[in-house]
Amino acid sequence: MTEQNRTRISWREGAWLNPPQSSREEGEWLKVVPDKGRDFWKKTLYGFEFEDGPALLTDWDRDTAVEVSFQLGSFTELYDQAGLLLYQGPAQWIKAGIEVNDGIPQLAVVVTNGYSDWSLAAVPEWAGEEVTLRASIIKDAVIIRARSVHHAWRTIRVARFPYASGNQAGPFTCSPTREGFEVTFTRWDITAPDQDLHIDPPIE
């Protein structure tokens, strides 16, 4: 993919859905510290409802793909998490990223339409690497993929996301159980959409 097909989104272009405890730019990176105890979840299994985690969002055209990259070096405790939030409204959203569970970094996706579900896939070999999450819409579904700097794209979820307008997307992070978790986001891009579920997108 050429640079003409890829547009880097400035961190300052986004608006916070729930501001974090702190955020600061360091060169091209954004370092974010979320407040302890905030998260995104609706009802299923636990009964509670959270939509107070920090997410930096901007409008997302469904004819483009959105990518967010971040470093895993700080992910050490249960439920440390960061990634990409796709947001239609308070009852319809998807968060996809890395979450520490059982001491292992996991590719985690929560799809919410009134109620949340949760899928996990362990990626211990990705520990400490830079990770990229990608979302691209085909017909009524969003294709969510992930890769690390040393590992190829993996398709981790196909979920219904049929909304024609009003979509937003951007980086999120949560720290449900501890203070002092800091995430370094390295990139936020809009690029060409996927053409086929079974064809990997290019890597910049």
Confidence of residue 202 (pLDDT cuts 50, 70, 90): confident
Residue-wise pLDDT for 115-134, tens only, equals 999 999 999 999 999 999 99
The rounded distance, in Å, linking the Cα atoms of 38 and 102 is: 20
Q: CB–CB of 199/65 below 8 Å?
A: no
Residue-wise pLDDT for 21-74, tens only, equals 999 999 999 999 999 999 999 999 999 899 999 999 999 999 999 999 999 999
Record the tokens describing residue 191, joined without a space.
Answer: 């690029």
Confidence of residue 2 (pLDDT cuts 50, 70, 90): very low
What pTM was estimated for this model as a whole? Answer: 0.96
Q: CB–CB of 171/15 below 8 Å?
A: no
